[in-house]
A and B are shown apart, each in its own frame.
Chain A
Amino acid sequence: MSRADVREVTLVEAVNMALAWEMAQDESVIVLGEDVATNGGVFRATVGLRERFGYKRVMDTPLAENLIAGTAIGMATQGLKPVAEFQFMGFIYAGMEQIISHAARMRNRTRGRLHCQIVYRAPFGGGIHAPEHHSESTEALFAHIPGLRVVVPSSPQRAYGLLLAAIRNPDPVLFLEPKRIYRAVTQSVVNNGESLPLDTCYTLREGDDVTLVTWGACVMETLQAADTLAQQGVLAEVIDVATVSPLDRETLLCSVAKTGRAVIVHEACRNGGVGAEIAASIAEGAFLDLQAPVVRVTGYDTIMPYYRNEQAYLPQVQDIVEAVEQVIAL
């Protein structure tokens, strides 16, 4: 490429760009799912791919999530690299048996003979006034599964780089796209096929007073909270977990060793959430560095309310600021 191909894109456009890049480079990459071909996906993440790469590589499947998850497994054992889309994470559950019992286990089960290089993509999270079942954040269900990576981008750049990495990763990746920020911001992304590393947290902002740990759409509110806190003279380090499983504990513990305080922010329910795992890791690995208990700002342990009440459920900037004030006061 002679001229740098830089584009101002949204997160969902970055997903499309990464898919198109990799499909052009590697003809074993194929896309399948409900409405992904002719319609370009319900969020238009796959728009234009069918025209460019044809029906053999961009396939509209019947409406059967279990089948989508399992068909991708069969394809992967033949050396294809399927990127399978679920329209919403709330409909992935029919496919969980395939993902958990087969995709995540194939390499181990066959002692490396077969493996599943698959990306399962699903939009997740609340905040877009969607109907029931469309807004939950249930990443913790999958973070518990050995053999499966759970990756959550938080910006267009991250979506581009992490999706490329996920497609190139030889093991199955659940790629959860925070749909609340699908179109919230645009960012310059260099379309040069460069991936970003998986299994690592990203430090978005440095600070000495408190570590704010988050991922996905909550990165927005967390960064805003950090701005507010800075005006009060509190310097927060903000960490985007990015790969929710396996977890990069090292980066988290190093940060807590520096700041002595941690607030974890996620929109999923608190009970059994990924935040609990992070808090436990900090308790085990950095207890003596802590100057205050680890605090979580999360959704409630309730069913995600319908959209009239969803803002009441989602963590707000003020919730994060107050949690930080609480740990700083100690």
Chain B
Amino acid sequence: MKQRQEFHVDSARYLDEQGRPLDDLPAQANDVERILSAYRNTVLARTFDAKAIALQRTGKCGTYPSVLGHEVIGTAIGQSLAPSDVFVPYYRDQAAHILRGVALCDMLLYWGGDERGSAWQNCPQDLPIAVPIATQCCHAVGVASAMKIRGEDRAVVCCVGDGGTSKGDFLESINLAGAWHLPVVFVVINNQWAISTPRNLQSGAETLAQKAISAGLPGHIVDGNDYFASIEAMDTALERARGGKGATIIEAVTYRLGDHTTADDATRYRTAEALKKAWEADGIKRLQSYLHHSGLWAADKEQALQAECKAAVDSAVAEYLATEPEPHTAMVDYLFESLPASLQEQRERIVRKSATGADGSAL
């Protein structure tokens, strides 16, 4: 029988778990400022995360999905995106949001139950967080289609979890991205778990990146805890997209070190040894060790950075806690551009109830 076509999925990793280069590093390793800024962002994201969980535990924030373990790939995504590109996130992309200019306070507002947390000023085109799994993939190809129709050299990055790759939305979107040759990069954050469902129950495919093949796209695997592998893949894929060469799928292999959300208890389905092993591959520690080996980092710098991140987070928390709730009328005011007559009466009822405190608000 004649072989019709052959496929391959490559995989990239540059640092071992101690942060030592396994190979020649990519060109991105020459940009020391960018690497230091990446490290700072990973630490800030982790500091923010711990605080958000603490706020939830003390009843000051709603259910919250931790980014613990994803900080490196998220940072690479945030750094590789240009301001004019569009980011289409899922709900665990805190590290990328920070680099897109989303205020820490906005992130708290969002998870704290205030819609203004998605009214992002600094990245007005980025899509808000999508909670239904993988639906955002369809939005990403829509955004990319608009760019293509207008002949722009911008691109889109869309994040989705390993669980999300099982959904039609993902498969339909990568299919369209291939058929229409769209400027979009799908990043599959393979953190091994979809709540309690492990990666091997999610799909019988050897890799998630190979789903790209059916869509006619290149699919690559990177160690998502390896900054150099991650940033190289992101820079390359985005350059390709902006240059009109089409879409890419990147499977970023990482590990969700925390519970799925603050409402979950991962000890029910995950062993302590597996978690311990995953911590040994932590990307932040690895990047920090690399910086130490390269003479770019020292204990005092680390101390200063920790203090700086803590201060930034504390100030965001103070701002968040001091933010007055929106007037209750906001729930109708943003539904349509202008208020339909049928909602006028309901709006008046909201105003009346607010004025008397009958809606449960303290007067």
Decide if A and B are genuine partners: yes
**Does B141 have its Cβ within 8 Å of any Cβ on chain A?**
yes
Q: Looking at the assembled complex, report how far the CB atom of A260 sits from the nearest CB atom of chain B, in whole angstroms.
A: 23
B119 touches A57 (CB 8 A): no
Nearest residue (CB) in A for B129 is: A109
Question: Whole-angstrom distance between the alpha carbons of A20 and B108 in the complex?
Answer: 46
Q: Looking at the assembled complex, report how far the CB atom of B327 sits from the nearest CB atom of chain A, in whole angstroms.
A: 12
How many chain-B residues does the 8 Å CB contact rule pick out? 44
**Does B269 have its Cβ within 8 Å of any Cβ on chain A?**
no
Given A74-B140, A199-B341, verify A111-B115 contact (CB < 8 Å): yes
B170-178, B285-293, B308-316: which lies at the interface: B170-178
B142 touches A70 (CB 8 A): yes
**Does A146 have its Cβ within 8 Å of any Cβ on chain B?**
yes
Q: Which of A56, A59, A102 contacts B139 (CB 8 A)?
A: A102
B144 touches A107 (CB 8 A): no
- Please give, as numbers and ranges, the residues of chain A lying within 8 Å of B130 by CB-CB distance: 102
Question: Whole-angstrom distance between the alpha carbons of A273 and B78 in the complex?
Answer: 47
**Does A75 have its Cβ within 8 Å of any Cβ on chain B?**
yes
B340 touches A246 (CB 8 A): yes
Q: Which of B124, B127, B141 contacts A71 (CB 8 A)?
A: B141
Complex interface bits, B109-122 against A, C-beta within 8 A gives 1, otherwise 0: 00000011011100
State the main secondary structure of chain B at its contact with A.
helix
Nearest residue (CB) in A for B116 is: A111
A115 touches B142 (CB 8 A): no
Question: Whole-angstrom distance between the alpha carbons of A78 and B155 in the complex?
Answer: 12
B334 touches A64 (CB 8 A): no
Nearest residue (CB) in B for A64 is: B172
Question: Whole-angstrom distance between the alpha carbons of A71 and B172 in the complex?
Answer: 10
Q: Looking at the assembled complex, report how far the CB atom of B134 sits from the nearest CB atom of chain A, in whole angstroms.
A: 10
**Does B132 have its Cβ within 8 Å of any Cβ on chain A?**
yes
17 residue pairs bridging A and B, Cβ less than 8 Å apart: A30-B149, A70-B135, A70-B137, A70-B138, A75-B142, A75-B146, A79-B146, A80-B146, A108-B334, A109-B128, A114-B127, A147-B335, A171-B336, A199-B340, A246-B340, A246-B342, A249-B341
Q: A61-B176, A73-B138 are known; give 20 further A-B pairs, CB within 8 A.
A: A59-B145, A62-B172, A69-B138, A71-B142, A72-B142, A74-B145, A75-B145, A75-B146, A76-B142, A78-B142, A102-B130, A102-B132, A108-B115, A108-B335, A110-B119, A113-B119, A114-B125, A246-B341, A247-B342, A250-B341
For the complex of A and B, the 5 pairs showing the least CB-CB separation, nearest first, are A74-B142, A70-B138, A78-B146, A74-B139, A71-B142
